């Protein structure tokens, strides 16, 4: 029998809540986790794409292993309702992926106050609210995992990205302090820092890839493989980590001439 394409159920029985899961990286995470045995909550403000994804996942599995929750990540009430729906549907919560985020341009002078506040509210405060709502239930499992999606803009400075970079650096700090705060509860907290990944969010950006040692952008499935590992028990001794997945972009100055 050819078993190469059969799932090995690396997260069998786990229940995972994913924000911003209707498209892009979030949708890829949901499909990857479901294919490896997890039950997933597709949480997003975009109703129809999220519902379509839930139908796709359930059809592929032949079972009701995915549900949709409308989630506004800037509202704690919306977060608590989403977590309660998760518990009602599946009885527990093993993993949280704070994936929802937006991008706005502009430096500290030119970025609008509206863009600044909205970016911080969604990218940073939304991550905090998700953790706040989920931790009481994650604690009950004795061993659980939070994956906060930051960016390489949360590891190094990015020109004309004041709000976005500030928010993503904030996610890094929140992750590291929370890893210490909740380790005794068996809750692991890690951040991942994608670089140039092909998603609808950045499809319109004009970029060169010469700064990436591997020479090409990443695929959402590359990020999903890392998320799968961090949600699974394979990473049970990893917490407080900040993992770049960027083809080497933050390793150093790849464009500097050597001769």
Provide CB contacts within 8 A for 33, sequence distance 6+.
11, 14, 16, 18, 40, 224, 227, 228, 231
Of the residues 68, 128, 137, 164, only one is catalytic, namely: 164
Respond yes or no: is residue 68 known to be catalytic: no
Distance CA 134, CA 122 (A): 17
- Considering only CA atoms, which of 15, 36, 12 is closest in space to residue 89? 15
Q: How many CB atoms lie within 10 A of CB 36?
A: 18
- Considering only CA atoms, which of 9, 116, 128 is closest in space to residue 61? 9
**Kind of pairing between the strands at 187-194 and 144-149:** parallel
Provide CB contacts within 8 A for 102, sequence distance 6+.
118, 119, 122, 123, 201
- Residues catalogued as catalytic: 164
């Amino acid at each position: 029998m050819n078993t190469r394409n059969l799932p090995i159920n690396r997260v069998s029985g786990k229940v995972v809540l994913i924000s911003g899961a209707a498209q892009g990286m979030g949708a890829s995470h949901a499909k990857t986790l479901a294919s490896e045995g997890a039950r997933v909550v597709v949480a997003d403000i975009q109703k129809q794409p999220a519902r379509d994804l839930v139908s796709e996942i359930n059809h592929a599995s032949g079972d009701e292993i995915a549900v949709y929750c409308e989630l506004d990540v800037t509202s704690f009430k919306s977060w608590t309702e989403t977590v309660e729906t998760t518990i009602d549907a599946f009885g527990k919560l093993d993993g949280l992926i704070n994936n929802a985020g937006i991008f706005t341009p502009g430096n500290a002078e030119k970025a609008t106050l509206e863009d600044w506040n909205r970016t911080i509210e969604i990218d940073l405060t939304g991550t905090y609210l998700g953790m706040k709502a989920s931790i009481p239930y994650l604690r009950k499992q004795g061993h659980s995992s939070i994956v906060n999606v930051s960016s390489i803009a949360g590891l190094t400075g990015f020109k004309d990205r004041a709000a976005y970079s500030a928010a993503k650096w904030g996610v890094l700090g929140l992750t590291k302090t929370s890893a210490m705060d909740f380790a005794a509860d068996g809750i692991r907290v890690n951040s991942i820092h994608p670089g140039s990944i092909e998603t609808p969010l950045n499809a319109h950006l004009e970029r060169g890839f010469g700064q990436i040692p591997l020479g090409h952008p990443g695929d959402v499935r590359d990020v999903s493989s890392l998320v799968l590992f961090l949600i699974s028990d394979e990473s049970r001794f990893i917490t407080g980590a900040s993992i770049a997945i960027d083809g080497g972009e933050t390793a150093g100055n790849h464009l500097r001439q050597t001769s």
